[in-house]
């Protein structure tokens, strides 16, 4: 399997190579963007003779060392090897997008980011904002695509798109929670919807992956899973993340501050055995759930022993992370209603809408859990996806052909 970056020296891309060598290239990337030999995208561009003039970094910074929601000021951005590095995750909502002044310094914007297939993961929204800023200024966007590590199988779509009023930086556009698309497929989808011309003479072009078996996960790629953020260390983490991230909207620990974030969920006030038994009764296809205790060394319940469960994915095709974790959260609230609460602190630059609502896409699930409704009822409020999204996924590869660089 070859990513877009792996193909830059191939014969069919000679026109793209000339374009990059003759241009002031801006690059939106991060530490995980490496080729099959482990070389970073910026090194590959240097070898190509198309060194970056300006580098943009997403959440977590170019070096991917900042924690979730940790502001990355431009002054603290990682070394870009001589090119200025501008953070697109600063203190304000405006900092999430390049300014007109930034874009005026480049002729081409090259995007190479590692995504994990979930609506909440902010890299794709940074890419969309950067692409829109470039398109508005007449700067061409080139996306070096990478496969979706948790598969591009349309049968895995899960989690309804957000309702009106619930868009945010963890979902700037309506999109299923588990979307089965790649960064380039998402950008091309929104670009075509908005009337952008695709291809090398248009607003956006793409170097698609080659040899990606869409229905398989990253363990079939014959290359390492390179962690794209500090709390995304393994493929199994990525597989649980579409559900595990929902825990961020509660006062339960999602395992940050441990070595297995998102697989561990718990709190000092829970009974792990009781929670595991309740989940077993509800059913967790494709996952083994067992009671555990753990102590987070930072984030929620820092230094305190938490009791809860650990999830192990046993069958990635059967596993439904959103349904599993919604059920987990509903059972946790039912077990400890006096101690459980939903997060009310600001979340990803939003100050008025609860984080759980932003993540689930409406207030329906939060209200249902608060009311004590059964776990299966909560799941049914969130997980179904309109069949039209299956057609979006099926058409994604054809759209990339129209956008081919």
- Phi, psi (rounded to 5 degrees) for 267: -165, 160
DSSP 336-365: -TTT--B--S-BTTBSSS-HHHHHHTSSHH
Q: What is the pLDDT of residue 75?
A: 66
Residue 265 has pLDDT above 80, yes or no: yes
Q: What is the pLDDT of residue 78?
A: 56
Give tens-digit pLDDT for 340-391.
999 999 999 999 999 999 999 999 999 999 999 999 999 999 999 999 999 9
Q: What is the pLDDT of residue 115?
A: 98
Q: What is the pLDDT of residue 386?
A: 96
Average predicted confidence (pLDDT) for the chain: 96
- Name the nearest CA neighbour of 260 among 234, 239, 286: 234
DSSP three-state, residue 155? helix
**Mean pLDDT, range 230-251, rounded to an integer:** 98
Q: What is the pLDDT of residue 160?
A: 97
Return the half-sphere exposure (C-beta side, CA atoms, 13 A cut-off) of residue 57: 30
Residue 20 has pLDDT above 90, yes or no: yes
Give tens-digit pLDDT for 284-312.
999 999 999 999 999 999 999 999 999 99
Each as own residue / partner, the long-range contacts of residues 67-70 (CB below 8 Å, 24 or more positions apart, any chain) are 67/230, 67/231, 67/256, 67/298, 67/299, 68/229, 68/230, 68/231, 68/248, 68/256, 69/347, 69/348
Would you state the structure tokens that stand for residue 146, as one six-digit string?
């990478």
Task: Report all structural domains of the chain as residue ranges with CATH numbers, in order of start.
Answer: 5-147+182-229 (3.40.50.12170), 235-382 (3.90.1150.140)
Residue 175 has pLDDT above 90, yes or no: yes
Give tens-digit pLDDT for 178-218.
999 999 999 999 999 999 999 999 999 999 999 999 999 99
- Enter the pTM of the model: 0.96
Q: Using pLDDT thresholds of 50, 70 and 90, give the confidence band for residue 81.
A: low
Residue 60 has pLDDT above 60, yes or no: yes
Q: Do residues 75 and 47 touch, judged by C-beta distance below 8 A? A: no
Q: What is the pLDDT of residue 196?
A: 97
**Cα–Cα distances in Å, from 276 out to 54, 325, 331?**
50, 12, 9
Taking the CA atoms of residue 148, residue 151, residue 155 and residue 160 in that order, the dihedral angle to the nearest 10 degrees is -40
DSSP 186-204: HHHHHHHHTTPPBSTTSSE
Measured CA to CA, the distance from residue 279 to residue 294 in angstroms comes to 19
Angle at which helices 14-21 and 41-48 cross, to 10°: 90
**344-373 core/surface letters (b: 16 or more CB in 10 A; e: else):** eeebbbbeeebbbbbbbbbbebbebbeeeb
Give tens-digit pLDDT for 271-282.
999 999 999 999
Residue 249 has pLDDT above 60, yes or no: yes
- Name the nearest CA neighbour of 170 among 342, 350, 326: 350
Measured CA to CA, the distance from residue 271 to residue 246 in angstroms comes to 20
Torsion over CA: 53, 120, 1, 14 (sign): negative
Q: What is the pLDDT of residue 73?
A: 86
């Amino acid at each position: 399997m070859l990513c877009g970056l792996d193909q830059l020296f191939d014969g069919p891309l000679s026109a793209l190579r000339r374009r990059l060598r003759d241009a002031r290239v801006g690059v939106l990337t991060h530490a995980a963007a490496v080729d099959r030999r482990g070389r970073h995208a910026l090194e590959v561009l240097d070898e190509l003779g198309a060194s970056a003039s300006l580098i943009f970094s997403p959440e977590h910074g170019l070096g991917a060392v900042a924690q979730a929601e940790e502001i990355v000021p431009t002054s603290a951005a990682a070394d870009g090897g001589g090119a200025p590095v501008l953070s697109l995750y600063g203190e304000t909502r405006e900092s999430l997008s390049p300014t007109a002044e930034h874009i005026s310094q480049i002729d081409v914007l090259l995007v190479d980011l590692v995504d994990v297939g979930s609506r909440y993961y902010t890299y794709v929204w940074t890419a969309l904002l950067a692409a829109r800023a470039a398109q508005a200024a007449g700067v061409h966007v080139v996306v070096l695509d990478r496969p979706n590590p948790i598969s591009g199988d349309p049968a895995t779509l899960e989690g309804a798109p957000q309702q009106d009023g619930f868009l945010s930086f963890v979902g700037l556009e309506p999109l299923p929670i588990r979307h089965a698309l790649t960064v380039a497929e998402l950008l091309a989808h929104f670009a075509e919807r908005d009337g952008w011309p695709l291809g090398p003479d248009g607003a956006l072009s793409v170097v698609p992956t080659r040899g990606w078996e869409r229905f398989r996960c990253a363990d079939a790629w014959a290359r390492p899973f390179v962690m794209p953020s500090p709390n995304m260390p393994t493929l199994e983490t990525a597989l649980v993340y579409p559900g595990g991230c929902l825990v961020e909207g509660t006062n339960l620990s999602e395992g940050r501050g441990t070595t297995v974030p998102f697989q561990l969920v718990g709190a000092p006030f829970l009974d792990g055995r009781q929670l595991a038994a309740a989940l077993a009764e509800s059913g967790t296809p494709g996952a083994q759930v067992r009671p555990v205790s753990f102590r987070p060394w930072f984030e929620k319940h820092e230094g305190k022993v938490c009791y809860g469960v650990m999830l192990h994915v046993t069958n990635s095709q059967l596993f439904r992370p959103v349904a599993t974790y919604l059920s987990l959260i509903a059972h946790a609230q039912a077990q400890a209603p006096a101690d459980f609460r939903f997060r009310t602190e600001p979340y990803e630059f939003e100050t008025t809408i609860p984080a759980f609502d932003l993540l689930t896409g409406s207030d329906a699930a939060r209200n249902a859990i608060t009311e004590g409704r059964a776990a299966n009822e909560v799941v049914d409020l969130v997980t179904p996806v309109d069949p039209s999204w299956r057609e979006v996924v099926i058409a994604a590869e054809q759209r990339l052909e129209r956008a081919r660089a």
